[in-house]
Amino acid sequence: MSDKSNLQINGGEPVRTKPFPSWPRPTEAMKKSLIHTLENERWGIGSAAVEQFERKFADFHDSQFALAISTGTAALWVSLKAAGVKAGDEVIVPAYTFVGTATAVLMANAVPVFADIDESTLNMDPALLDDLITDKTKVVMPVHIAGNPAEITAIKQICDRHGIAMIEDAAQAHGTEWEGRKVGAFGMGGIFSFQSSKNMTAGEGGAIISDDEEFINKCFSYQNAGRVREGDWYEHDHLGGNFRLSAFPAALLTAQIESMEKDMAIRDANAAILDSGFEKIEGLELLQKYPGTTRVSHHLYIFRYLKKYFDEKSREQFLEALNGEGIPVYAGYVPLYRERLFIVNRAEYPWLEGVDFEKITLPVTERIADEEAVWLRQNCLLGSEEDAMDILQAVEKVVNAFSN
């Protein structure tokens, strides 16, 4: 039998039929923490569980302050408002990210300006920033995509030169490090998400971290009905919402901080197995790391598939064949500006007068999203060495079949 007919999609036996470790994954520590909070603590305002989580998460992420928030998207909106973003201001975001990075900008009545990405890391390309900055730019928001850090030293230098704020979207970067320090507070602040897929999760949840007390106090206000830290209960300074985190997700999250290192080490080891196998395969490109990178969270394992090495077989054919072999890979994001939400109704969004997202074309984002990116979720890296070897074997089987 030739390599081609061996593929499961052609009727052959798949490499793997076992599922990968499921996610989210309850632990005894999480159950204990949850029950303790349920029976002993306030469930909302004034909850010791929320305060404890904020303190421990700030410590864990090498920052002075943390504020727990209901979701990552709410954390983005709150941080933009606290950074002083006003109607009509511009916020630079990468075009290759989760939609929330850009919708939070629209929700702050501001204009998302899409930056193209660096094909080697899939992060915002700092070399393009100077050309995108205008006198309306208030914030640059790099995203640490897949938990692989953006070039935050270079981006921060550009922001400093122009007198604008950098806020990191670290929604996928729990435990990610830059120059030996965890990401999130390199600029004005940074946000995290604890939604179900994330490496630390409470089903839903978010946080902002910062070393800037004035900024975090403003975040508190926008998160908490416009209240003033240390102010009266019915004293409202800003147009804020209720984006507080309840005590139960906080209890779940605190319990996970302890076990993060163990999970990270497992993901690191399995990612290293994949890296060393894939780098020998011509036509598969691993994500590169900027020199400042000291730890990657591996929220996603992303690599690039270059069809010219595989008889012009498309990335979609590669995904289909690999899924047939029992490996749940998928294509990931589309270029954000193509989403229907950006075909905007000017009557509803008057500050977008003159902005036409439909005219945008960003060549690297489009090539990566349309043709090259292959994604694997973080829980596929949480299994045994044999699980990682199955992934490698399945990829080798498919590329061999495609090369014949």
Give min distance, CB of 193 to ligand PLP, in A: 3
**Residue length of the chain:** 404
Residue type, 47: S
Nearer to ligand PLP by Cβ, of 60 and 192: the residue is 192
Q: What's the sign of the alpha-carbon dihedral 379, 381, 384, 386?
A: positive
Burial of 348 (0-12, 13-18, 19+ CB in 10 A): exposed
Give min distance, CB of 172 to ligand PLP, in A: 5
Is 98 a residue that touches ligand PLP (CB under 6 A)? Answer: yes
Is 20 a residue that touches ligand PLP (CB under 6 A)? Answer: no
Nearer to ligand PLP by Cβ, of 165 and 336: the residue is 336
Is 58 a residue that touches ligand PLP (CB under 6 A)? Answer: no
Residue type, 388: A
Give min distance, CB of 90 to ligand PLP, in A: 19
Is 171 a residue that touches ligand PLP (CB under 6 A)? Answer: yes
Give min distance, CB of 100 to ligand PLP, in A: 4
Nearer to ligand PLP by Cβ, of 101 and 379: the residue is 101
Nearer to ligand PLP by Cβ, of 362 and 394: the residue is 362
CA distance 263 to 211: 27
Q: From the list 33, 37, 63, 97, which residue makes contact with ligand PLP (rule: CB under 6 A)?
A: 97
Is 224 a residue that touches ligand PLP (CB under 6 A)? Answer: no
User: Which long-range contacts link 351-356 to residues 24+ away (Cβ below 8 Å)?
Assistant: 351/87, 351/88, 351/109, 351/110, 351/111, 352/111, 355/111
Is 172 a residue that touches ligand PLP (CB under 6 A)? Answer: yes
Provide CB contacts within 8 A for 60, sequence distance 6+: 182, 257, 260
Q: From the list 41, 169, 325, 387, which residue makes contact with ligand PLP (rule: CB under 6 A)?
A: 169
Task: Kindly state the number of chain residues that form the binding site for ligand PLP, as judged by CB under 6 A.
Answer: 14
Kindly identify the residues of this chain, within the stretch 111-150, that bind ligand PLP according to CB under 6 A.
Answer: 143
What stretches of 21-63 adopt beta strand conformation (E)?
Answer: none
Nearer to ligand PLP by Cβ, of 146 and 394: the residue is 146
Provide CB contacts within 8 A for 167, sequence distance 6+: 79, 80, 83, 139, 140, 141, 187, 188, 189, 190, 191
Kindly identify the residues of this chain, within the stretch 202-221, that bind ligand PLP according to CB under 6 A.
Answer: 206
Is 49 a residue that touches ligand PLP (CB under 6 A)? Answer: no
Q: From the list 195, 256, 378, 379, which residue makes contact with ligand PLP (rule: CB under 6 A)?
A: 195
CA distance 25 to 178: 28
Of residues 120, 93, 122, the one with CA closest to residue 107: 93
Distance between alpha carbon 306 and the CA centroid of its chain, in Å?
A: 24
Q: Which stretch binds ligand PLP (CB under 6 A): 14-22, 45-53, 165-173, 212-220?
A: 165-173
Six-digit token string for 371? 């043709």
Residues found near ligand PLP in the complex (CB under 6 A): 71-73, 97-98, 100-101, 143, 169, 171-172, 193, 195, 206
